[in-house]
Amino acid sequence: MPEELVTAFEAETGWDLTIQSSGDAGELTNRLVLTAGSPIGDAVFGIDNTYGTRALDEGVLAAYTPSDLPESAEEHALQGGAAYLTPVDFGDVCVNVDDVWFANNGIAPPQTLTDLTEPEYEDLFVTPGASTSSPGMAFLLATIGEFGPGQWQGYWEDLMANGAKVTSGWTDAYTVDFTAGGGGGDRPIVLSYASSPPFTIPEGGFQPTTRALMETCFRQVEYAGVLEGAENPEGAQAVVDWLVSPQVQASIPDSMFMFPVDEEVELPELWAQWATVAEDPIVVHPDQIEAERETWLREWADIATG
């Protein structure tokens, strides 16, 4: 969040806000489960729809819903968890391609997940790992939703045989290995977000040099909530209220690269023009994710990391 928003929150509420970083959604949720009943803070932000059901089942959250929750946020509510988890932002995790690289090399870019296993894209794709990255987990779920619980393993075997590279996190994949990530990478296909292309518009340019493949997307929603056993539940509720306030919602695109759940806030001009939302994102039911997550991750690790 912009520092001025934090300062304004503290001035308006009288609370001092201390922010602790706790890794991605999986690491955060696991830490909350381990400290259930004696939480590490009062409020939490960053549990997503791939781990939300675990947080609910483990009882780490207290019931609370902001009175001024934007009406448009309701479509992002976690099934069975609306009383505990407040939607704050969302984005589509999608395969991105460097259009300039493909044009310069005379190769048509891929369009679908299946295309990534074709010989012309050998050694061109990089993705963060599912066990160490929430976008990586979202990509695994996209392949499970696309190919089915009994078929995705074969897809990943083909993907790895075609030279796909797995990194520990999104930062390495995008800023180091991706050709359009600014780090001199050599892979023009990367797992990122549908909102990533606006940030590749060159200085003085008018359009992105990259594009998200909208048939490859999995919808990720990030939530906030009050922690059960919080020392300051009133302050925690104020934080959750703040995260869905118009001021914070309007700051989300530029500060967090996600879409605000409040559709009434005005998006930055370039974001509104170039950042897209998948019309038909790939879906895996939260209950199925909760029931199968650990099995899927073990199977994925055997294939992708050996």
The CA distance from 89 to 94, in Å, is 16
> Could you tell me which of 105, 102, 164, 196 has the C-alpha nearest to residue 300?
164
Rounded Cα–Cα distance for residues 86 and 176 (Å)? 34
pLDDT of residue 269: 87
Task: Identify whether the C-beta of residue 42 lies closer than 8 Å to the C-beta of residue 226.
Answer: yes
Q: What share of the chain has pLDDT > 70, as a percent?
A: 100
Arithmetic mean of pLDDT, 231-248: 98
SS3 at position 98:
strand
Query: Would the pTM count as exceeding 0.85?
Result: yes
For residue 224, give the DSSP letter: E
Span 262-295, pLDDT tens digits: 999 999 888 888 888 999 999 998 889 989 999 9
Task: Name the residue among 161, 155, 129, 130 with its Cα closest to residue 143.
Answer: 155
What are the two backbone dihedrals, phi and then psi, of residue 45, each rounded to the nearest 5 degrees? -135, 130
pLDDT at position 12, please? Answer: 96
3-90+220-274 and 92-217 agree in CATH topology: yes
Q: Which DSSP string corresponds to 166-206?
A: EESSHHIIIIIIBTTTTS--SBSEEEEETTSGGGGPPTT-S
Instruction: Provide the residue count of the chain.
Output: 306
pLDDT bucket at 183, cuts 50 / 70 / 90: confident
Q: How far apart are CA 103 and CA 256, in angstroms?
A: 30
Q: How many CA atoms lie within 13 A of 101 on its CB side?
A: 21
pLDDT at 270: 85
Instruction: Return the CATH number of the domain spanning residue range 92-217.
Output: 3.40.190.10
Q: How far apart are CA 232 and CA 230, in angstroms?
A: 5
Amino acid present at 222: E
Domain boundaries, the chain: 3-90+220-274, 92-217
Confidence band for 206, pLDDT divided at 50, 70 and 90: confident
Q: pLDDT-based confidence at 240, cuts 50/70/90?
A: very high
The confidence score (pLDDT) of residue 24 equals: 78
**CA-to-CA distance for 148 and 188, rounded, in angstroms?**
27
Do 291 and 118 meet the contact criterion of CB atoms below 8 Å apart? Answer: no
**From CA 17, how far away is CA 40, in angstroms rounded?**
14
Average pLDDT, the chain: 94
Residues 1-45 pLDDT 10s: 899 999 999 999 999 999 998 877 888 988 999 999 899 999 999
Instruction: Tell me which DSSP letter residue 24 carries.
Output: S
Strand partners, 282: 218
Distances (CA, A) of 262 to 43, 267, 270, 283: 20, 10, 18, 22
Over the stretch 43-97, which tens digit does the pLDDT of each residue have? 999 999 988 999 999 999 999 999 999 999 999 999 889 999 999 999 999 999 9
Cβ neighbours for 53, distance < 8 A, ≥ 6 positions apart: 78, 80, 81, 286, 287, 289, 290
pLDDT tens digits, 85-143? 999 999 999 999 999 999 999 999 999 999 999 999 999 999 999 988 889 999 999 99
Q: 98 φ, ψ to 5°?
A: -90, 100
Domain 3-90+220-274, CATH 3.30.300.30 — does that match?
no
